[in-house]
A and B are shown apart, each in its own frame.
Chain A
């Protein structure tokens, strides 16, 4: 082997050996660094996982959603309004929906209830089921449930259960399907049923719904058609899929940016700590440098030694931090950051996050943690290496 490479390997070997022998001294920096990387990585992984899940699920959002407002608040919409929209050219399909929340007093949980006019015919919804099927248009008292609802109601293998109407009479329902885990962001707390059943549960009038879901044949025309709908239904709120996606992105970006800013501040604090610690070389460390220089080690050899030690510390801390973050997301559903990401939710049911990691996230974390650490230790390493050997030996 070329002696220059062997020289590097010798110094690296010495650095690793020395680091291991003095592991007690470096433990605090290693643990704090691992913790900072763990927090940053957990945050990044969770942000990426939620973003990806949301992006996937928002494909199911209709092209246009129409709601009725009165005094700025949402009120039921009459099914008769569908007739007014029939005149608008370009609309390929109109579905009726009731969207509401059911409060379960027995365990204090809120469930999202969606009554749809035709869930079984929607190809996008079809992909969200893990087992069973959707209720057909002419079926009553059939429901598809999210994972968290099944757990909260403690259904286990039972398929039949009851909910209370506003007058406290009971409505019996039968579970015919379960949503898949990857759709949990939207479906964890969801009960999907036929339109008639939802109307019955919320005691709504015969011709009342909460939303109209409109599909448009040509995606280029969505905004034009939305405008026409707004004109045809005075007092309505017309929302396009693009607007919903923008809102989700804005919410995630804001929360993600806020959290990342806080964590980067903690990383900066750690880098200052590392710089400070590296500056404060002990008498023992200085003596070691002095001995090595007396024995013929060049200043650059000492700098390389310190660099390798820092690199090894940073690499191990990075590996540990990333692994712990992965475990945090995979097995503990990112419990530390749930309040930041899901804090707007008033819903009690739990949410399982599916981890999603990209190579660029790892590179980003490396660039924002290991590189600043190495940079912070270069100046102290240089200062230590220019010690005059006769002054310390």
Chain B
């Protein structure tokens, strides 16, 4: 593991609906540093701000105040268009419900992040094929996502997160809807990605995740604040 911080948040605040009656102060004075190839788990109860923190690291939005640097880029003054561009080059997302589009085939789902990049269909097929083979679901490539099992869905979600070869993988409650066997499988997959040079940040309060041997650090989040940050 390298010690260079890949993600560095300094005095970050995040407000939703700032200045309005329904203003929410979701992150309060957050300071967090995550090194390259580190596996970090954000832990906290529902509504504690861990998903907001994950979205901020994932360049979905910038901070309301403070400094946020991801991969050396400052997010705070970045317009939406550049945030999106940066996100697709730097971040791979694995969502809580996987968010695989059910009407598309496995192959099309995995290729989704490549489409706006202007990658040719041949190159798309080749890249998707490599990942599907790696995760053992190549035989399902023409199946609709609605026709495959939960375990296969999670592998499709991981393959889609990796298709652009991003240096950072973010996973929001990835085991929330899986049984213990599938949760364990998923963690093994995620931990194995470290060997590819990936930095992995998860949110979870599932002991199977927080107590997994591959996780380097637990960051506790409560009421929008980081209350503890080491294991």
* Residue ranges of A at the interface with B (Cβ–Cβ < 8 Å): 1-7, 10-11, 13-14, 17-18, 21-22, 287-288, 290-299, 301, 388-390, 393
Contacts and interface: CB of A to CB of B under 8 A. Distances in A.
Given A296-B84, A296-B116, A389 B160 contact: no
A164 to B, nearest CB: 72
Contacts of A10: 114-116, 118-119, 121
Contacts of A298: 81, 84-85, 116
Given A296-B84, A299-B80, A388-B60, 9 more contacts: A6-B120, A10-B114, A10-B115, A17-B104, A291-B95, A295-B88, A297-B88, A297-B115, A390-B61
A14 B112 CA distance: 9
B112 A3 contact: no
Interface in B69-118: 80-81, 84-85, 87-89, 93, 95, 99, 101, 103-104, 108, 112-118
Give the interface residue-count category, chain B: 20 to 34
B87 A296 contact: yes
B164 interface: yes
5 A-B pairs with the lowest CB-CB distances in the bound complex, closest first? A296-B88, A3-B118, A7-B118, A21-B103, A10-B115
Contact of B118 (A6, A294, A390): A6
**Majority secondary structure, A binding face:** helix
B63 to A, nearest CB: 14
A70 B84 CA distance: 87
B211 to A, nearest CB: 27
Contact of A11 (B55, B58, B85, B116): B116
A128 B149 CA distance: 74
Given A291-B99, A292-B112, A299-B80, A390 B117 contact: no
28 contacts: A2-B118, A3-B118, A7-B118, A10-B115, A14-B112, A14-B115, A17-B108, A21-B103, A21-B104, A287-B99, A291-B99, A293-B84, A294-B87, A295-B93, A295-B113, A296-B85, A296-B88, A296-B117, A296-B164, A297-B115, A298-B85, A298-B116, A299-B81, A299-B84, A301-B115, A388-B60, A390-B55, A390-B61
Contacts of B85: 296, 298
A4 B118 contact: yes
B195 to A, nearest CB: 24
Contacts of B81: 298-299
A277 to B, nearest CB: 18
A295 B104 contact: no
B60 A294 contact: yes
B103 A11 contact: no
Given A295-B160, A296-B84, A18 B103 contact: yes
A293 B116 CA distance: 11
Given A287-B99, A295-B88, A7 B160 contact: no
Contacts of A291: 95, 99, 101, 112
A14 B81 CA distance: 21
